[in-house]
């Protein structure tokens, strides 16, 4: 079966869902396709694992319960400049398409699920992960970036009885942040009892993890591998491989248009932009592209995208955290940390999407 639409949006994460809702305000017909039937505030996933009772099912809602445009649950397997081929054999013809398929963690799929495609399955997946954690006495987190640091803090805060080890191949936690941010984060983690190990490269060997550098062995009940983010662009390789980088990100210009095409745009984590791969960047991108597409339809000028300044807001446990923001640098202001810690931005994101 062939379906037609004016604007196809592939991927319903922060960028894609925001774009769909913004275009609907200007009466531009959209069709959003996603392999899941639900939208998820992924910032809440880690606390869902560490303390399911605290967050419960609140970060997730079915697309059909809030999207103003059309929604199809399915997976795009091939894409051209006019048509998207779906896994079930159907195809969608479009006048313009926006790729907002985001990124995934192949080694840490519970953070961004690659197997729970219904709301019920996803809620159960996280509940099961949380129950498994409750039974653990020791945990290893490999990768001390923002995800690893936040997960370590959440587990140590909610389960002080669990021995938490946070290991990274670099020389510090939060290696891409300033030295001051690294120091403050380390101090807060250690205060919660987290054992920080740097210059470690743990690999699983049967029932233990062995550091490739020192040969040290570590036996734990649960290990989370919070490294190896992958851009979700495999469906472009058959016909549009020339438009993706060696790392899988989609090449775009300052208007988010896929370089060398006339009908394709890309936003969010999957786009090769200088912005950090954060919801704080993806949501504004969705709004900017919507404004540009409306302007183009009206024969008006579009505005070039300017990358968001580097920033980060990382909760460490449910009471503290660290933020690195432009001008002010590294701060631990409680009101700012609480802005995210309060509900992990679920209310903020839902409000922006028009969800009451």
Burial of 141 (C-beta count, 10 Å sphere; 0-12/13-18/19+): buried
Quick one: pLDDT at residue 85? 98
Q: How far apart are CA 43 and CA 59, in angstroms?
A: 9
Tokens of 84: 């998207």
Quick one: pLDDT at residue 311? 86
Domains of the chain in sequence order: 2-107+229-306 (3.50.50.60), 122-227 (3.50.50.60)
Q: How far apart are CA 179 and CA 336, in angstroms?
A: 20
Quick one: pLDDT at residue 310? 79
pTM to 2 decimal places: 0.95
Range 101-119 burial, b when 16+ CB lie within 10 A, else e: bbbbbebbebbbbeebbeb
Q: What is the 3-state secondary structure (H, E, C) of 221-261?
A: CEEEECCCCEECCHHHHHHHHHHECCCCCECECCCCEECCC
Query: How distant is the alpha carbon of residue 301 from its chain centre?
Result: 31
For the chain, list residues with pLDDT below 50: none
| Residue 315, φ and ψ in degrees, nearest 5 | -65, 140
Instruction: Name the residue among 106, 108, 317 with its Cα closest to residue 222.
Output: 108
Q: Which residues pair with 330 in a beta bridge?
A: 324
Question: Model confidence over 116-163: pLDDT tens digits?
Answer: 999 999 999 999 999 999 999 999 999 999 999 999 999 999 999 999
Quick one: pLDDT at residue 327? 86
Quick one: pLDDT at residue 356? 85
């Amino acid at each position: 079966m062939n379906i037609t639409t004016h604007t196809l949006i592939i991927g319903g994460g922060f960028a894609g869902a925001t774009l769909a809702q913004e275009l609907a305000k200007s009466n531009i017909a959209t069709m959003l396709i996603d392999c899941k039937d639900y939208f998820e505030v992924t910032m809440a996933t880690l606390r869902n694992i560490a303390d399911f009772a605290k967050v419960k099912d609140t970060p997730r809602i079915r697309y059909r319960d809030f999207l103003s445009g059309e929604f199809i649950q399915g997976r795009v397997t091939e894409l051209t400049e006019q048509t998207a081929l779906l896994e079930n054999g159907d195809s969608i013809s479009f006048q313009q398409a926006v790729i907002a398929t985001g990124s995934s963690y192949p080694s840490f799929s519970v953070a961004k699920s690659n197997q729970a495609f219904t709301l019920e399955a996803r809620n159960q997946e996280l509940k099961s992960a949380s129950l498994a954690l409750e039974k653990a006495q020791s945990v290893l987190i490999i990768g001390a970036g923002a995800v690893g640091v936040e997960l370590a803090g959440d587990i140590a805060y909610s389960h002080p009885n669990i021995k938490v080890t946070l290991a990274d191949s670099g020389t510090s936690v939060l290696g891409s942040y300033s030295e001051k941010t690294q120091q403050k984060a380390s101090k807060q983690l250690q205060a919660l009892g987290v054992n920080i190990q740097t210059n470690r490269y743990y690999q699983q060997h049967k029932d233990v993890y062995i550091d490739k550098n020192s040969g040290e062995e570590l036996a734990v009940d649960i290990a989370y591998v919070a490294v190896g983010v992958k851009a979700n662009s495999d469906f472009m390789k058959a016909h549009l491989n020339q438009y993706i980088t060696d790392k899988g990100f989609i090449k775009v210009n300052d208007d988010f248009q896929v370089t060398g095409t006339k009908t394709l745009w890309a936003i969010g984590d999957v786009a090769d932009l200088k912005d950090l791969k954060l919801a704080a960047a993806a949501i504004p991108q969705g709004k900017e592209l919507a404004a540009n597409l409306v302007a183009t339809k009206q024969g008006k000028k579009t505005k070039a995208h300017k990358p968001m300044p580097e920033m980060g807001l990382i909760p460490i446990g449910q009471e503290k955290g660290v933020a690195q923001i432009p001008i002010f640098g590294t701060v631990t202001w409680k009101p700012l940390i609480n802005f995210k810690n309060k509900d992990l931005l679920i209310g903020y994101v839902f409000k922006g999407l028009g969800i009451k």
